[in-house]
Structure 1
Amino acid sequence: MTSATRPQLEPRISSFRQNGMRTDALVLSEPGGKFKYKKITLRDNLLEPDECLVRIKATGICHTDLNFASKDRGQPENFPCVLGHEGAGTVIKVGSWVEDIAVGDEVIVTFTSCAQCRNCETGFPGYCDRWFKYNLGFSRFDGTQTIEDPKSKKPLKGHFFGQSSFAREIIVCETALVVIPAPTPAYELLAPLACGVMTGAGAMLNIVKPQPHQSVCVLGVGSVGLSAIMALKTLARPPRRIIALDILSSRLELAKKYGATHGINTTYQKDLMPTLMEITKGAGVDATIDCVGLPKVVEQIVHGTARRGRIVAVGVGLLTNAVSINTFEAVQAGLVYQGSLQGDSDPKRFLPWLLKMNQQGKFPYDELITTYHVEEVAEAIKDIKEGRTVKAVLLWDTH
Structure 2
Amino acid sequence: MADIETIGWVVHEAKQDFKLEELVVEAPRDDELLIDMKFSGICHTDLVFQQGELTLCPYPAVFGHEGAGFIRSIGPKVKNKDLKVGDFVLLSINYCEQCKFCKTKHPANCIHGSKLHLFGTRPDGSCSAKLKRTGESVRSYFFGQSSFMKTNCVAETCVVKYEGSPDDAAMCAAMGCGYQTGAGTVMNVLKPTSDDSVVVFGLGTVGLTAIMGAKYCGAKQIIAVDIQASKLPLAKEVGATHLVNSREVPDIVAHIKELTGGTGVDFAVDCSGVIPVIEKMIDCLAMFGTAATVGVPPSGAKVAVDPLQMLLYSRKYVGVREGDSDPPVFIPKLVEMQKQGQFPVEKIIKVYDYKDMAQALHDLHAGSVVKPVIQWF
| Interval containing the TM-score (normalised by the shorter chain) | over 0.9
Q: How does 1:74-89 map to 2 (within 5 A)?
A: 74=55, 78-89=58-69
Counterparts of 1:46-65 in structure 2, within 5 Å, are 47-65=28-46
TM-score by length of 1: 0.91
Cα offset, 1:182, TM superposition: 4.8
Distance in 2 between residues matched to 1:278 and 1:343, nearest whole Å: 29
CA contact (8 A) 1:201 1:230 kept: yes
CA-CA distance at 1:383 after TM superposition: 0.6
User: What's the counterpart of residue 389 of structure 1?
Assistant: 369
TM-score, with structure 2 as normaliser: 0.96
Equivalence map 1:37-116=2 (5 Å): 37-44=20-27, 47-74=28-55, 78-100=58-80, 101-116=83-98
| 1:220–1:246 CA contact under 8 A, matched in 2 | yes
CA distance in 2, matches of 1:356, 1:58: 19
* 1:5 alignment partner in structure 2: none
Aligned residues: 375
**Residue 177 of structure 2 corresponds to residue 191 of structure 1:** no
What residue is the counterpart of 2:227 in the other structure? 247
User: What is the distance in 2 between the residues matched to 1:253 and 1:352?
Assistant: 28
Is 1:36 aligned with 2:19? yes
Q: Which residue of 265, 275, 290 corresponds with 1:295?
A: 275
Name whichever of 264-273 and 48-57 sits farther off.
264-273
1:140 maps to 122
Contact 2:215/2:222 (<8 A) preserved: no
- What's 1:320 paired with? 300
How far off its partner does 1:72 sit?
2.9
**Stretches (4+) displaced over 6 A:** none
Does structure 2 retain, via aligned residues, the 8 Å contact 1:272–1:301? no
Measure how far apart 1:185 and its partner are: 5.8
* % identical equivalent positions: 36
Distance 1:121 1:71 in 2: 33
Does the 8 A contact of 2:127 with 2:139 survive in 1? yes
Q: Which residue of 2 aligns with 1:175?
A: 157
Report matched runs for 1:190-229 at 5 Å.
Answer: 190-229=172-211
Q: Please provide the CA RMSD for this pair.
A: 1.5
Q: Distance in 2 between matches of 1:133 and 1:301?
A: 30
Give the unaligned 5+ runs of structure 1.
1-17
How far apart, in 2, do the equivalents of 1:355 and 1:146 lie?
A: 30
Q: CA deviation at 1:286?
A: 0.7
Superposition deviation, residue 183 in structure 1:
4.7
For residue 236 of structure 2, what is the aligned residue in structure 1? 256
SS of the residue corresponding to residue 186 of structure 1 reads helix
CA contact (8 A) 2:64 2:147 kept: yes
Q: Which runs of 5+ in 2 are unaligned?
A: none
Do the aligned partners of residues 103 and 130 (structure 1) sit closer, same or farther apart at CA in structure 2, a change above 3 Å counting? same
Alignment CA distance shift 1:333-1:185 (3 Å): farther
Deviations 1:341-377 (A, max 9, x none): 1101111011111111111111111111101011111
Corresponding residue for 1:306? 286
Is the Cα contact below 8 Å between 1:293 and 1:321 reproduced in 2? Answer: no
Say if 1:292 and 1:177 are closer, same or farther in 2 by CA, change over 3 A. Answer: same
> What code does the residue aligned with 2:329 have?
R
